[in-house]
Amino acid sequence: MRRVFVIVTVALFALVFWRLIDAYSELQALRPLAQYYVVQGPIELGAPNIVTGILITYRGFDTLGEVAVLFMVAASVGLLLKSESTATATEAATEAEADDDSVPRRQPGEIVRTGMQVLLPMILTFGAYVIVNGHLSAGGGFQGGAIVASGAMLMLLARPGAALNVALLSVVESFAGVIYVMIGILGLVLAGGFLDARFLPRGEFGAFFSAGAIPLISALLGVKVGAELSVIIDRFRS
Amino acid sequence: MTTGLPVSTILLITGFCLALIGLWGMLTQRNILRIIIGFALIDTGLHIVMVATGYIRGGTAPIIDAALSKADAARRAIDPVPSALVVTAIVIGLSVTAVMLAFAIRLYAAKKTLSIDAFTESKW
């Protein structure tokens, strides 16, 4: 009976989606807003990567909110998992039984350990590269931060006993957030509005130091996202 | 590449199919982790759909460099707005998944099982 309902629901959704696909015709030219961003974005901001320009300047306030969401998730995951681990710790201490939770953690294999030593510097370097080149080519704070966090995850897999310095990461992350907001206020004072990146010189188009404050904001975002994701990964490990 | 379908239609079909698979998985599976995987599939499928709506026939990535001059950009770049929105959507999807996984851990700690049938308190 339930299966029939499931099939009917999925079929109805498939119908909706099919009508959407059927009625969609591929764009032949840019929409007016996109037209403005593509034409004016590089001229106004001096950033070759238009997506980064939109994310960090035109929709910078959104990005700030997004980072706030990530922060709240890190906090709530910590809250959810912390009380659980203390509750089960007392429980496990009283029961002291050997169910599948309390078997000692299996040591990582040779390949993971050696691979970590070879790959970790490269992953972190690549993450830093992606973060600081966000205004020039594909990449940016979020993407680079995720790469850095994947490096942290590999490290935690290869060395299960290692403890991530969560307190330090939280401090780094908070400072990145504070500086991010202060740059936004600087934009409000010195340029056109909150998070306007044009208060620094635009520089030569396509050069590494160019596009106003966009690389700076990108780097801060990268630090913040990397630290937050690493903290989330570490919380899940415990 | 001479398929009869336009690129964005192929992407839309792929994305919506992925979303349907995820929906199917969410409705039929009884294991909470599999339900979360179903959610992640819906999420990914809809990201593909969103990116597909920004594609312009013959367009390329909206990055001004040697291959795409400023004057050319208005004609050949794809719509950058959906791409920027999808970055936001990916982060929100990751956040929701992380919170759901944390809840799954709590539920497992409470009942020592991940089957959704064990959690009958909030069933109507």
Q: Which chain B residues are within 8 Å of A138, Cβ to Cβ?
A: 61, 63
Flag whether A53 is in a domain: yes
A8 close contact with B: CB closer than 8 A: no
User: A with B: how many residue pairs have Cβ under 8 Å apart?
Assistant: 148
Instruction: Find chain B residues with C-beta within 8 A of A30's C-beta.
Output: 56, 74, 77, 79
Residue A50 Cα, gap to closest chain B Cα (Å): 6
Give percent of chain A above pLDDT 90. 4
Distance between CA atoms of residues B87 and A190, nearest Å:
28
Residues from chain A contacting residue B91 (CB–CB below 8 Å): 66, 69-70, 142
Does residue B5 sit at the A interface (CB-CB below 8 Å)? no
Number of domain units in chain A = 1
Report yes or no: B66 at the A interface, CB cutoff 8 Å: no
Amino acid at B36: I
Distance CA A194, CA A181 (A): 9
Exposure class string for B75-108: b at 16+ Cβ within 10 A, else e: ebbbbbbbbbbbbbbbbebbbbbbbbbbbbbebb
CA A110 – CA A101 distance, rounded (Å): 24
CA–CA min distance A21, chain B (Å): 7
User: Within 10 A of B116 (CB to CB), how many other CB atoms are there?
Assistant: 15
What is the CATH topology of the domain spanning B7-118?
Helix Hairpins (1.10.287)
Closest CA to B24 of A13, A15, A16: A13
In a domain, A103, yes or no: no
Residue with tokens 């939109």: A54
Nearest to A124 by CA among A156, A90, A108, A147: A147
Give the up-direction half-sphere exposure of residue A193: CA atoms within 13 A in the CB hemisphere: 6
pTM for this model (two decimals): 0.81
> In this structure, is residue A91 part of a structural domain?
no
Does a structural domain hold residue A170?
yes
| For A233, nearest residue in chain B (alpha carbons) | B98
Question: Is any Cβ of chain B less than 8 angstroms from the Cβ of A28?
Answer: yes
Which A positions 118-177 lie with beta carbon below 8 A of chain B? 136-138, 140, 142
Q: What pLDDT is recorded for position A98?
A: 41
More confident of the two residues A125 and A157: A125
Q: How far apart are CA A27 and CA B57, in angstroms?
A: 7
CA distance B55 to B33: 34
pLDDT in tens, A47-93: 778 888 888 888 888 888 888 888 888 888 888 887 655 555 555 55
User: Could you give phi then psi for residue B31, rounded to 5 degrees?
Assistant: -90, 130
In a domain, A8, yes or no: no
**Per-residue tokens: A110:** 């040779």
Residue A207 CA, distance from chain mean position: 25
As a whole number, the mean pLDDT across chain A is 79
Domain ranges of chain B: 7-118
Residue span of the structural domain in which A55 resides: 48-81+108-238
Residue A123 forms part of a structural domain: yes
Answer yes or no: is A41 within a domain: no
Residue B9 to residue B16: CA distance in whole angstroms? 10
A13 domain-assigned = no
